[in-house]
């Protein structure tokens, strides 16, 4: 995972707060942590989830744009029939390997798609953590209610 300022892109949440939550050890800290702190963690994670979704969507769009530019340039080169190869894949690979501009475009695309791939699916564990914190808060509320009824 990335740390510090990169975590907080498009966010009002401080990266260190998110890191603190990710480093929270429920087995050790849960009983010692009051409900207000757990509620705060839930809100911070929900904000962070929005941040990560924005980053993922942005990376997905950028990767798509770079792929289109690369594909168009390769297509232009292939339609001139100046590229050898038996299959379309082979001709595309030969076109890219023979042209420094296409190589640079392919590298840009690879980097953009790598960022997209790193962010993809990151929402699931964050959502699970939010749900676990909410469950603990519900459990505590029910426990307080039960204690009041017995008194």
* CA distance linking residue 48 with residue 52, whole number of Å: 6
65-123: per-residue pLDDT in tens? 999 999 999 999 898 867 888 999 999 999 999 999 999 999 999 999 999 999 999 99
9-68: per-residue pLDDT in tens? 444 566 688 888 888 887 777 888 899 999 999 999 999 999 999 999 999 999 999 999
Helices and strands in the chain: count of H runs, count of E runs: 6, 0
Task: Quickly count: other Cβ atoms within 10 Å of residue 12's Cβ.
Answer: 8
* Phi, psi values for residue 121, rounded to 5°: 85, -5
- Give the global pTM: 0.74
Distance of alpha carbon 69 from the chain centroid: 24
* CA distance linking residue 37 with residue 45, whole number of Å: 12
């Amino acid at each position: 995972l990335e740390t510090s300022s990169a975590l907080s892109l498009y966010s009002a949440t401080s990266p260190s707060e998110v890191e603190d939550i990710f480093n929270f050890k429920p087995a050790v800290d849960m009983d010692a942590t009051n409900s207000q702190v757990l509620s705060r963690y839930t809100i911070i994670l929900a904000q962070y989830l929005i941040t990560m979704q924005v980053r993922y969507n942005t990376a997905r769009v950028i990767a798509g744009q770079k792929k289109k530019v690369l594909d168009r340039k390769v297509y232009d080169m292939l339609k001139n029939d100046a590229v050898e190869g038996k299959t379309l894949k082979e001709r595309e690979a030969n076109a890219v390997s023979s042209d420094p501009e296409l190589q640079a475009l392919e590298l840009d695309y690879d980097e953009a798609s790598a960022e997209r791939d790193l962010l993809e699916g990151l929402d699931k564990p964050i959502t699970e953590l939010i749900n676990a914190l909410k469950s603990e808060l519900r459990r505590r509320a029910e426990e307080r209610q039960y204690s009041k009824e017995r008194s």
